[in-house]
Structure 1
Amino acid sequence: MSTVILYGTETGTGELVSDAIADVLAGEHDPSVYDMTDYAVEDLDPSDFVIVVCSTYGEGELPTGALPFADELDAQKPDLSGLRFAVFGLGDTVYDDTFNRGGEIMAEMLTNLGATQVGEHGRHDLSSDIKPTAQAEEWAQGIAPLINA
């Protein structure tokens, strides 16, 4: 089973977080990291475990980096039954109603197509003192045992 980490970002934090998650998982899971702009929906494979890292942009929208992938999901509506995934979202509680909405949108899109979300939905708060990479590393340690479960 391969581990695929897909990130959607506006400022690059999603890529840094994805790399931090990959570093935690590298020992046992040999993850591959892809920008969602460079990953085709038809490459989603139910035998892979997918981790989605997604920031929130504007008024609770997907970041520019996630839009092509999300648009492709919406247009193709593939059957993702059997695909298991986890989500780590990036947001800021200053935006109360839309906090971490980007990750939630991606999770909803995948589950609506038959995929199954596993583990805790990670949610980083930019207003906190915790660095996003540090929180992502801790989150990844909790997700690691679920990858092959």
Structure 2
Amino acid sequence: MAAVILYGTETGTAELVADAIADVLASDFDPSIYDMSEFAAEDLDPEDFLVVVCSTYGEGELPSGALPFADELDDVKPDLSGMRFAVFGMGDSVYDDTFNRGGEIMAEMLAKLGATQVGEHHRHDASSTIKPTAAATEWAAGVKSVIAEG
């Protein structure tokens, strides 16, 4: 089974996180990494396992890198029945009400189109002392078993 990793970023950190996740998944799966701004919604394949890495921007919004993909999901509304996905969200708990909202928005959009979220929805906190890539490496190890279950 192939793993497709999509990242939405404002500053580039989500791309680094996506790379760290791909490194962990590479031993058992064939991960591909794409910037959401360059990935077409119609290219989503329910046979693939989807990993979404998404930061939060502004007042709990999607980062600019995720907007083209999100807009296309809204317009095209692909049938994602049978697709399984996991989310690694990124945010800062200083923004209490909107903490990690970017990842949650993407999860809601995919679920609305029929995809099923599995595994732990990780919510990384930029205010913590844990580096996002370190958290992603640990999280991805757990995701490996979830992918294998499919």
Please classify the TM superposition score into its range, dividing by the shorter chain length: over 0.9
Code of the aligned partner of 2:109: M
Report sequence identity in percent: 77
RMSD: 0.5
Counterpart residue number, 1:140: 140
Counterpart residue number, 2:37: 37
Instruction: Note the C-alpha offset of 1:120.
Output: 0.3
Code of the aligned partner of 2:27: G
Post-superposition CA distance 1:10-43 (Å, at most 9, x none):
0000000000000011100120000001110010
Post-superposition CA distance 1:106-142 (Å, at most 9, x none):
0000000100000000110000000000000000001
Code of the aligned partner of 1:108: E
Q: TM-score, normalised by structure 1?
A: 0.99
Which secondary structure does the structure 2 equivalent of 1:29 belong to? coil
Instruction: Number of aligned residue pairs: give it.
Output: 149
Cα separation, 2, equivalents of 1:78 and 1:69: 12
Code of the aligned partner of 1:131: K
Q: TM-score, normalised by structure 2?
A: 0.98
Instruction: Note the C-alpha offset of 1:148.
Output: 2.4
Post-superposition CA distance 1:55-93 (Å, at most 9, x none):
000000000000000000001111110010000000000
Code of the aligned partner of 2:58: G
